[in-house]
């Protein structure tokens, strides 16, 4: 019997999310591009109202005056709440617009800020070990998960904290894909699949928290419709149809999330 590893199952499941070439060819731009303002608003809210299992776990592992490495930093929602007790916060992201938003925000905190532009773990050699490593809402973008996790662990002196939704963050759009393209979308991978890969990594101190984050999405309907149309590879003239399709869906005010944390192995 041929068996596959947890990492292979994760990669295969993520591969199922690839869009058919004939749909991608009709997209005006990348369906995966992220609006910086949305990330910036979340970072500002997180900095003003720190809390939740991910924050508590990272804060408990961070010594006063310690250092934080935020992989997939965005505008800093994961690390800005920790800046009040850290001496250094380093953000890694492949999007220079996100790094600019993070730099603006870390500059007004007590911590020093540093940025590394690039994809993890490709740029891991450019980063020294930090006391705590955080990576929020990036796991479902990573097909080759094992080296990604190994690099997180190797760069953490005290702990790694990863936050992700129970299922792919675009799972909620599956009915829309059926409506507009008659396309079925996958159900996997899940956070349980992620945890299985971490377990295969052989880390110590592994803990898993399942909880609900208070995370109101106050984006106006018109803006949400435009973003969803972009995700669906639809032209601008069909944004009105998308707006009608999502009009009855209230903005998410709470998000179910999973925090996965374990000990680091980075040298001092």
pLDDT at 1 over 50: no
> How far, in Å, CA of 108 to CA of 106, rounded?
5
Domains, the chain, in order of start with CATH, read: 6-263 (3.40.50.150)
CB 53 within 8 A of CB 78: no
Tokens (6 digits) for 196: 């299985």
pLDDT digits (tens, 9 = 90+) for 37-95: 989 999 999 999 999 999 999 999 999 999 999 999 999 999 999 999 999 999 999 99
The DSSP secondary-structure symbol of 63 reads: P
Evaluated on CA atoms 212, 203, 156, 167, the torsion sign reads negative
Task: Tell me the pLDDT band of 3, cut-offs 50, 70 and 90.
Answer: low
Measured from the Cβ of residue 237, the count of other Cβ atoms closer than 10 Å reads: 8
Q: How far is CA 130 from CA 98, 264, 266, in A?
A: 21, 10, 8
Strand, coil or helix: 12: helix
Summarize pLDDT for 217-253 with one digit per residue, the tens: 778 899 999 999 999 999 999 999 999 999 987 666 6
């Amino acid at each position: 019997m041929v068996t596959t590893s947890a990492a292979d199952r994760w990669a295969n499941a993520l591969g199922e999310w690839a869009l058919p070439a004939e749909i991608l060819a009709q997209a005006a731009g990348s369906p995966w591009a992220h609006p910086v303002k949305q990330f910036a608003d979340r970072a500002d809210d997180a900095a003003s109202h720190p809390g939740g299992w991910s924050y508590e776990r990272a804060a408990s592992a961070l010594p006063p005056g310690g250092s934080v490495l935020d992989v997939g930093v965005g505008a800093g929602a994961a690390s800005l709440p920790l800046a009040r007790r850290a001496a250094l916060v380093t953000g890694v992201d492949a999007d220079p617009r996100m790094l600019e938003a993070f730099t603006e925000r870390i500059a007004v905190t007590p911590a020093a800020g540093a940025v590394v532009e690039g994809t993890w773990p490709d740029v891991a050699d450019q980063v020294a070990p930090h006391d705590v490593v955080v990576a929020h809402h990036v796991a479902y973008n990573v097909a080759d998960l094992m080296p990604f996790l190994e690099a997180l662990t190797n760069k953490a002196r005290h702990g790694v904290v990863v936050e992700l939704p129970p299922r792919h963050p675009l799972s909620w759009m599956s009915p829309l894909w059926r409506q507009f393209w008659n396309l079925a979308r996958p159900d996997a991978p899940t956070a349980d699949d992620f945890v299985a890969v971490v377990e295969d990594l052989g880390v110590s101190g592994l803990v898993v928290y399942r909880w609900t984050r208070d995370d109101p999405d106050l984006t106006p309907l018109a803006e949400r419709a435009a973003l969803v149309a972009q995700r669906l590879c639809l032209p601008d003239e069909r944004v009105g149809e998308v707006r009608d399709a999502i009009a009855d869906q209230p903005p998410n005010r709470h998000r179910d999330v999973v925090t996965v944390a374990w000990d680091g192995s980075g040298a001092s």
